[in-house]
Amino acid sequence: MYATATQTNPRTHTKRNTERTLPQVKRVFQSSPPTPQRPLTDTSRTATSNPENSFANGFLKTTFPPKVYHSSKHIIFSGEEQAQLKTTLKCSLAQMADHYGFTPFPIEQYDLSCGIALALSYSQEQIKKRDTKGTFCELKVLKAPNSDAFFSCEERFYLPNEVFFVPLQPLYKLLKVHKNKPLYELFLSVYAYLNQRAFIANYVQEDCFVAYAYEMLQDCISQDYQEIAERDHLLHLLKQAQQIGAILSKKIRNPYHLDFFQRRIDRFIPKNDLEAECLALSQAFYTLWQDFPNHSIYSHLHRAEDYYEQGEEELFEVEKYLSFVYEDQSDLFHTYLLDWLNGEYSQCSEIELPTIYKHFNSTTPLANFDFEQRFFPLLTELITLLNRI
Protein backbone atom coordinates (compact mmCIF):
# COMPACT_ATOMS: atom_id res chain seq x y z
CA MET A 1 0.00 0.00 0.00
CA TYR A 2 1.48 3.30 -1.08
CA ALA A 3 0.93 6.76 0.21
CA THR A 4 -0.06 9.33 -2.37
CA ALA A 5 -0.10 13.10 -2.20
CA THR A 6 -3.29 14.78 -3.26
CA GLN A 7 -3.47 18.35 -4.44
CA THR A 8 -6.15 20.68 -3.30
CA ASN A 9 -7.37 23.79 -5.01
CA PRO A 10 -7.28 26.75 -2.62
CA ARG A 11 -10.06 28.42 -4.55
CA THR A 12 -12.47 25.63 -3.74
CA HIS A 13 -11.92 25.86 0.00
CA THR A 14 -15.02 26.75 1.97
CA LYS A 15 -14.77 30.15 3.63
CA ARG A 16 -15.75 30.49 7.21
CA ASN A 17 -18.68 32.78 8.00
CA THR A 18 -17.26 35.51 10.24
CA GLU A 19 -18.90 38.71 11.37
CA ARG A 20 -17.26 41.97 10.28
CA THR A 21 -16.23 44.42 13.00
CA LEU A 22 -15.86 48.18 12.82
CA PRO A 23 -12.36 49.71 13.01
CA GLN A 24 -11.32 50.95 16.40
CA VAL A 25 -9.78 54.13 14.94
CA LYS A 26 -12.19 56.93 14.24
CA ARG A 27 -12.45 58.59 10.86
CA VAL A 28 -10.24 61.58 10.09
CA PHE A 29 -12.35 64.49 8.96
CA GLN A 30 -11.26 67.32 6.69
CA SER A 31 -10.23 70.61 8.33
CA SER A 32 -12.67 73.46 8.49
CA PRO A 33 -12.54 76.16 5.82
CA PRO A 34 -10.05 79.02 6.41
CA THR A 35 -11.09 82.09 8.33
CA PRO A 36 -9.40 85.44 8.97
CA GLN A 37 -8.38 84.15 12.38
CA ARG A 38 -7.09 80.87 10.87
CA PRO A 39 -5.59 81.32 7.40
CA LEU A 40 -4.96 78.43 5.04
CA THR A 41 -1.50 76.80 5.31
CA ASP A 42 0.88 77.41 2.39
CA THR A 43 1.57 74.13 0.66
CA SER A 44 4.32 75.40 -1.64
CA ARG A 45 7.88 74.02 -1.10
CA THR A 46 10.72 76.16 0.27
CA ALA A 47 13.14 77.40 -2.37
CA THR A 48 16.30 75.31 -2.55
CA SER A 49 19.64 77.07 -1.86
CA ASN A 50 23.24 75.84 -1.25
CA PRO A 51 26.11 77.56 0.59
CA GLU A 52 28.89 79.04 -1.51
CA ASN A 53 31.56 76.71 -0.06
CA SER A 54 31.42 73.31 1.59
CA PHE A 55 31.27 73.36 5.38
CA ALA A 56 33.96 70.65 5.58
CA ASN A 57 36.35 72.69 3.44
CA GLY A 58 35.99 75.67 5.73
CA PHE A 59 36.60 73.50 8.78
CA LEU A 60 39.74 71.93 7.34
CA LYS A 61 41.15 75.35 6.44
CA THR A 62 40.80 76.53 10.00
CA THR A 63 44.08 76.82 11.92
CA PHE A 64 44.00 75.88 15.59
CA PRO A 65 46.76 77.11 17.93
CA PRO A 66 48.94 74.28 19.34
CA LYS A 67 49.13 73.39 22.99
CA VAL A 68 52.17 72.50 25.08
CA TYR A 69 52.22 69.41 27.25
CA HIS A 70 53.07 70.46 30.80
CA SER A 71 55.12 68.02 32.85
CA SER A 72 56.56 68.35 36.31
CA LYS A 73 59.91 67.19 34.94
CA HIS A 74 60.15 69.66 32.08
CA ILE A 75 57.89 72.71 31.87
CA ILE A 76 56.35 74.52 34.83
CA PHE A 77 54.87 77.94 34.12
CA SER A 78 53.06 80.22 36.54
CA GLY A 79 51.48 83.56 35.87
CA GLU A 80 54.29 85.47 37.60
CA GLU A 81 57.00 83.75 35.52
CA GLN A 82 55.50 84.53 32.11
CA ALA A 83 57.54 87.65 31.31
CA GLN A 84 60.83 86.26 32.64
CA LEU A 85 60.45 82.94 30.84
CA LYS A 86 59.71 84.69 27.57
CA THR A 87 62.92 86.66 27.88
CA THR A 88 65.10 83.67 28.75
CA LEU A 89 63.56 81.49 26.06
CA LYS A 90 64.08 84.23 23.49
CA CYS A 91 67.80 84.34 24.39
CA SER A 92 68.05 80.55 24.30
CA LEU A 93 66.28 80.45 20.93
CA ALA A 94 68.64 83.09 19.54
CA GLN A 95 71.66 81.05 20.69
CA MET A 96 70.28 77.89 19.11
CA ALA A 97 69.42 79.65 15.84
CA ASP A 98 72.93 81.11 15.68
CA HIS A 99 74.45 77.68 16.29
CA TYR A 100 72.49 75.97 13.50
CA GLY A 101 72.39 78.98 11.17
CA PHE A 102 68.74 80.03 10.80
CA THR A 103 66.55 83.00 11.69
CA PRO A 104 65.01 82.62 15.18
CA PHE A 105 61.25 82.38 15.53
CA PRO A 106 59.56 85.54 16.98
CA ILE A 107 58.41 83.84 20.16
CA GLU A 108 57.70 87.18 21.90
CA GLN A 109 54.80 87.89 19.55
CA TYR A 110 52.69 85.00 20.84
CA ASP A 111 51.23 83.70 24.03
CA LEU A 112 53.83 81.79 26.03
CA SER A 113 52.50 78.25 25.56
CA CYS A 114 51.52 78.84 21.95
CA GLY A 115 54.84 80.57 21.21
CA ILE A 116 56.85 77.68 22.63
CA ALA A 117 54.97 75.12 20.54
CA LEU A 118 55.35 77.18 17.36
CA ALA A 119 59.04 77.83 18.07
CA LEU A 120 59.67 74.10 18.61
CA SER A 121 57.94 73.16 15.37
CA TYR A 122 59.67 75.90 13.35
CA SER A 123 63.14 75.29 14.83
CA GLN A 124 62.90 71.53 14.39
CA GLU A 125 62.06 71.97 10.71
CA GLN A 126 64.97 74.36 10.23
CA ILE A 127 67.44 72.04 12.00
CA LYS A 128 66.37 69.06 9.89
CA LYS A 129 66.99 71.04 6.70
CA ARG A 130 70.56 71.72 7.82
CA ASP A 131 71.23 68.28 9.31
CA THR A 132 73.56 66.99 6.61
CA LYS A 133 75.07 64.31 8.88
CA GLY A 134 71.74 62.89 10.03
CA THR A 135 72.38 63.24 13.77
CA PHE A 136 69.27 65.19 14.79
CA CYS A 137 66.90 63.28 17.08
CA GLU A 138 64.64 65.53 19.19
CA LEU A 139 64.14 69.13 20.32
CA LYS A 140 62.73 70.02 23.75
CA VAL A 141 62.22 72.90 26.15
CA LEU A 142 63.56 72.07 29.60
CA LYS A 143 63.21 73.81 32.92
CA ALA A 144 64.60 72.42 36.14
CA PRO A 145 63.45 73.78 39.51
CA ASN A 146 65.09 77.10 40.46
CA SER A 147 66.56 77.59 36.98
CA ASP A 148 65.67 79.22 33.69
CA ALA A 149 63.97 77.41 30.83
CA PHE A 150 66.02 76.69 27.72
CA PHE A 151 65.95 74.80 24.46
CA SER A 152 67.73 71.44 24.36
CA CYS A 153 68.56 69.43 21.23
CA GLU A 154 69.28 65.69 21.33
CA GLU A 155 71.57 64.31 18.64
CA ARG A 156 72.67 60.73 17.97
CA PHE A 157 75.61 59.41 16.00
CA TYR A 158 74.16 56.67 13.78
CA LEU A 159 76.76 54.09 12.80
CA PRO A 160 76.97 52.89 9.19
CA ASN A 161 77.83 49.30 10.19
CA GLU A 162 76.10 46.99 12.61
CA VAL A 163 79.27 45.54 14.16
CA PHE A 164 82.92 46.57 14.53
CA PHE A 165 85.07 43.53 15.30
CA VAL A 166 88.84 44.09 15.26
CA PRO A 167 90.69 40.80 14.53
CA LEU A 168 93.82 39.77 16.42
CA GLN A 169 94.91 37.03 14.03
CA PRO A 170 96.60 39.43 11.53
CA LEU A 171 98.68 40.85 14.37
CA TYR A 172 99.73 37.32 15.36
CA LYS A 173 100.76 36.57 11.76
CA LEU A 174 103.06 39.60 11.80
CA LEU A 175 104.52 38.42 15.08
CA LYS A 176 105.49 35.04 13.56
CA VAL A 177 107.56 36.60 10.75
CA HIS A 178 110.75 38.33 11.92
CA LYS A 179 111.04 40.66 8.93
CA ASN A 180 107.63 42.12 9.75
CA LYS A 181 108.70 43.15 13.26
CA PRO A 182 108.58 46.95 12.59
CA LEU A 183 105.07 46.67 11.15
CA TYR A 184 104.05 44.38 14.01
CA GLU A 185 105.26 46.88 16.62
CA LEU A 186 103.51 49.72 14.78
CA PHE A 187 100.18 47.91 14.85
CA LEU A 188 100.81 46.83 18.42
CA SER A 189 100.79 50.51 19.41
CA VAL A 190 97.53 50.98 17.49
CA TYR A 191 95.95 48.04 19.31
CA ALA A 192 97.24 49.38 22.62
CA TYR A 193 95.50 52.70 21.96
CA LEU A 194 92.24 50.96 21.05
CA ASN A 195 92.31 48.88 24.22
CA GLN A 196 93.80 51.28 26.79
CA ARG A 197 92.42 54.64 25.61
CA ALA A 198 89.36 53.89 23.45
CA PHE A 199 88.43 51.03 25.85
CA ILE A 200 87.58 48.42 23.24
CA ALA A 201 87.09 45.15 25.10
CA ASN A 202 89.11 42.02 24.35
CA TYR A 203 87.36 38.69 23.83
CA VAL A 204 89.61 36.95 26.38
CA GLN A 205 88.53 39.30 29.18
CA GLU A 206 85.88 37.93 31.51
CA ASP A 207 83.69 41.03 31.40
CA CYS A 208 83.61 41.08 27.58
CA PHE A 209 80.35 40.08 25.92
CA VAL A 210 82.14 38.42 22.98
CA ALA A 211 84.01 36.25 25.50
CA TYR A 212 80.62 34.98 26.65
CA ALA A 213 79.72 34.35 23.01
CA TYR A 214 82.86 32.24 22.50
CA GLU A 215 82.05 30.29 25.64
CA MET A 216 78.47 29.62 24.57
CA LEU A 217 79.69 28.59 21.12
CA GLN A 218 82.14 26.11 22.63
CA ASP A 219 79.40 24.54 24.78
CA CYS A 220 77.03 24.23 21.83
CA ILE A 221 79.65 22.54 19.64
CA SER A 222 80.69 20.15 22.44
CA GLN A 223 77.15 19.04 23.25
CA ASP A 224 75.17 19.27 20.02
CA TYR A 225 77.64 18.54 17.22
CA GLN A 226 77.28 14.96 15.96
CA GLU A 227 80.20 14.68 13.52
CA ILE A 228 83.20 13.90 15.72
CA ALA A 229 85.92 14.98 13.28
CA GLU A 230 84.28 18.33 12.52
CA ARG A 231 83.50 18.89 16.20
CA ASP A 232 87.11 18.30 17.24
CA HIS A 233 88.32 20.63 14.49
CA LEU A 234 86.04 23.48 15.61
CA LEU A 235 86.99 22.97 19.26
CA HIS A 236 90.66 23.09 18.28
CA LEU A 237 90.11 26.43 16.52
CA LEU A 238 88.36 27.84 19.58
CA LYS A 239 91.17 26.65 21.86
CA GLN A 240 93.72 28.21 19.54
CA ALA A 241 91.78 31.47 19.55
CA GLN A 242 91.85 31.56 23.35
CA GLN A 243 95.57 30.82 23.55
CA ILE A 244 96.61 33.41 20.96
CA GLY A 245 94.21 35.95 22.42
CA ALA A 246 95.71 35.50 25.88
CA ILE A 247 99.26 36.07 24.52
CA LEU A 248 98.37 39.21 22.60
CA SER A 249 96.15 40.56 25.35
CA LYS A 250 99.11 40.88 27.71
CA LYS A 251 101.06 42.78 25.09
CA ILE A 252 98.18 45.10 24.18
CA ARG A 253 97.59 46.09 27.80
CA ASN A 254 101.23 47.06 28.31
CA PRO A 255 101.49 50.90 28.50
CA TYR A 256 105.00 50.64 27.02
CA HIS A 257 103.54 50.41 23.52
CA LEU A 258 101.71 53.69 23.95
CA ASP A 259 104.84 55.45 25.17
CA PHE A 260 106.70 54.44 22.00
CA PHE A 261 103.84 55.08 19.60
CA GLN A 262 105.27 58.28 18.12
CA ARG A 263 108.82 56.90 17.97
CA ARG A 264 107.68 53.83 16.02
CA ILE A 265 105.85 56.05 13.52
CA ASP A 266 108.95 58.18 12.98
CA ARG A 267 111.26 55.19 12.50
CA PHE A 268 109.00 53.11 10.27
CA ILE A 269 110.07 53.01 6.61
CA PRO A 270 107.42 51.48 4.30
CA LYS A 271 108.61 48.96 1.73
CA ASN A 272 105.49 48.90 -0.44
CA ASP A 273 102.11 50.55 -0.90
CA LEU A 274 100.44 48.35 1.71
CA GLU A 275 102.94 49.33 4.39
CA ALA A 276 102.55 52.97 3.38
CA GLU A 277 98.81 52.66 4.03
CA CYS A 278 99.54 51.06 7.40
CA LEU A 279 101.85 53.95 8.32
CA ALA A 280 99.28 56.59 7.31
CA LEU A 281 96.55 54.84 9.27
CA SER A 282 98.76 54.52 12.36
CA GLN A 283 99.60 58.21 12.14
CA ALA A 284 95.89 59.04 11.92
CA PHE A 285 95.15 57.07 15.11
CA TYR A 286 98.03 58.74 16.93
CA THR A 287 96.82 62.20 15.86
CA LEU A 288 93.31 61.31 17.01
CA TRP A 289 94.69 60.31 20.41
CA GLN A 290 96.58 63.59 20.73
CA ASP A 291 93.54 65.65 19.71
CA PHE A 292 91.16 63.77 22.03
CA PRO A 293 93.29 62.35 24.87
CA ASN A 294 90.30 61.81 27.19
CA HIS A 295 87.75 60.47 24.69
CA SER A 296 86.66 56.87 24.30
CA ILE A 297 83.73 54.91 22.93
CA TYR A 298 81.95 55.61 26.24
CA SER A 299 82.37 59.40 26.19
CA HIS A 300 78.87 60.05 24.86
CA LEU A 301 77.00 57.08 26.28
CA HIS A 302 74.56 58.15 28.97
CA ARG A 303 73.87 55.38 31.44
CA ALA A 304 72.10 55.68 34.76
CA GLU A 305 74.02 55.13 38.00
CA ASP A 306 72.17 51.87 38.64
CA TYR A 307 72.48 50.71 35.03
CA TYR A 308 74.61 47.65 35.79
CA GLU A 309 72.40 46.67 38.74
CA GLN A 310 69.12 46.84 36.82
CA GLY A 311 70.35 45.43 33.52
CA GLU A 312 69.06 46.43 30.11
CA GLU A 313 67.99 43.28 28.30
CA GLU A 314 66.28 45.20 25.50
CA LEU A 315 69.35 47.40 24.81
CA PHE A 316 72.08 46.23 22.45
CA GLU A 317 75.05 47.74 24.28
CA VAL A 318 78.20 49.01 22.62
CA GLU A 319 80.21 46.05 24.00
CA LYS A 320 78.10 43.71 21.87
CA TYR A 321 78.92 45.30 18.52
CA LEU A 322 82.39 46.77 19.20
CA SER A 323 85.10 44.40 20.40
CA PHE A 324 88.29 42.50 19.61
CA VAL A 325 87.81 39.04 18.09
CA TYR A 326 90.22 36.34 17.03
CA GLU A 327 89.37 36.58 13.32
CA ASP A 328 86.41 37.56 11.16
CA GLN A 329 86.91 35.71 7.87
CA SER A 330 86.41 31.98 8.54
CA ASP A 331 83.22 29.90 8.48
CA LEU A 332 83.53 29.53 12.24
CA PHE A 333 83.03 33.25 12.63
CA HIS A 334 80.29 33.78 10.04
CA THR A 335 78.35 30.53 10.44
CA TYR A 336 78.44 30.20 14.20
CA LEU A 337 79.66 33.23 16.12
CA LEU A 338 78.13 35.96 13.97
CA ASP A 339 74.81 34.11 13.67
CA TRP A 340 74.64 33.79 17.44
CA LEU A 341 75.37 37.51 17.84
CA ASN A 342 72.68 38.33 15.27
CA GLY A 343 70.25 36.27 17.31
CA GLU A 344 71.08 38.35 20.37
CA TYR A 345 70.69 41.52 18.31
CA SER A 346 67.23 40.49 17.09
CA GLN A 347 65.99 40.20 20.69
CA CYS A 348 66.92 43.81 21.47
CA SER A 349 64.61 46.69 20.65
CA GLU A 350 67.25 49.45 20.67
CA ILE A 351 70.96 49.81 19.92
CA GLU A 352 73.16 51.91 22.19
CA LEU A 353 74.57 54.83 20.20
CA PRO A 354 76.68 57.89 21.09
CA THR A 355 74.26 60.64 22.14
CA ILE A 356 74.79 64.29 23.02
CA TYR A 357 72.46 66.90 24.51
CA LYS A 358 73.03 70.48 23.44
CA HIS A 359 71.63 72.78 26.16
CA PHE A 360 71.30 76.34 24.86
CA ASN A 361 71.45 78.16 28.19
CA SER A 362 74.62 80.24 27.60
CA THR A 363 76.49 78.38 30.35
CA THR A 364 76.89 74.74 29.25
CA PRO A 365 79.55 74.07 26.58
CA LEU A 366 78.02 72.45 23.49
CA ALA A 367 79.14 68.88 22.88
CA ASN A 368 79.87 67.48 19.42
CA PHE A 369 80.69 64.26 17.57
CA ASP A 370 84.13 65.30 16.34
CA PHE A 371 85.75 62.28 17.95
CA GLU A 372 83.19 59.76 16.66
CA GLN A 373 83.28 61.21 13.15
CA ARG A 374 87.00 60.47 12.96
CA PHE A 375 87.25 57.35 15.10
CA PHE A 376 84.70 55.02 13.46
CA PRO A 377 85.85 55.61 9.85
CA LEU A 378 89.43 54.92 10.96
CA LEU A 379 88.27 51.76 12.72
CA THR A 380 86.49 50.55 9.58
CA GLU A 381 89.60 51.26 7.52
CA LEU A 382 91.76 49.37 10.03
CA ILE A 383 89.56 46.25 9.91
CA THR A 384 89.64 46.28 6.09
CA LEU A 385 93.40 46.79 6.00
CA LEU A 386 94.15 44.04 8.50
CA ASN A 387 92.39 41.46 6.36
CA ARG A 388 94.74 42.33 3.49
CA ILE A 389 97.89 41.50 5.45
pLDDT at 84: 81
42-65 per-position pLDDT tens digit:
666 666 666 565 555 665 666 666
Q: How far apart are CA 199 and CA 193, in angstroms?
A: 8
Rounded to 5, what percent of the chain is helix, strand, coil? 50, 10, 40
CB 377 within 8 A of CB 160: no
* DSSP string of 77-95, one letter each residue: --GGGHHHHHHHHHHHHHH
More confident residue, 227 or 272: 272
Helix ranges (DSSP H) in 108-208 = 112-130, 169-176, 181-196
Q: How far apart are CA 220 and CA 173, in angstroms?
A: 29
pLDDT at 27: 45
Percent with pLDDT over 90 in the chain: 42
pLDDT at 8: 44
Q: What is the mean predicted confidence (pLDDT) over 150-159?
A: 92
For 17-48, b/e burial (b = at least 16 CB within 10 A) is eeeeeeeeeeeeeeeeeeeeeeeeeeeeeeee
Length of the chain: 389
> Is 270 a residue whose pLDDT tops 70?
yes
| 79 secondary structure, DSSP code | G
> Is 224 a residue whose pLDDT tops 50?
yes
201 forms beta bridges with 323
pLDDT at 29: 44
More confident residue, 289 or 215: 289
Dihedral angle over CA of 336, 338, 339, 342, nearest 10? 160
> Is 150 a residue whose pLDDT tops 70?
yes
Tell me the pLDDT band of 71, cut-offs 50, 70 and 90.
Answer: low
